[in-house]
Amino acid sequence: MATTLKIDRDDALIVKESLELDRNIMKLSLLEYRKKLKGLEKKHKMTTKAFLQKFNAGALGDDGEWFDWLFASKACEHVKERLNRIAAIV
């Protein structure tokens, strides 16, 4: 659902700057999550996609590192979605 807001030029600039700051923070977060995923992929000799398939099938157990990998994967996707939404606004 789209909403139209009427704000003055100064306020629009503040909103734009805030979104640009958020975008930069999200880009840094994305780099960190990708780095984490690459490290886990190298350590366990499997892609994140293969990991998710095995994890979701219950083939990996419940070691804490698997949940770290799951979190990093979901966080990476969330950040990418947020970046896409910001790009559509700015």
CA angle 76, 78, 83 (to 5 degrees): 95
Condensed to tens digits (0 to 9), the pLDDT of residues 50-60 reads 999 999 999 99
Tokens 């949940």, located at residue? 67
What's the confidence (pLDDT) of residue 90?
A: 82
Condensed to tens digits (0 to 9), the pLDDT of residues 23-78 reads 999 999 999 999 999 999 999 999 999 999 999 999 998 999 999 999 999 999 99
3-state secondary structure of 63: coil
Tokens 């923070």, located at residue? 25
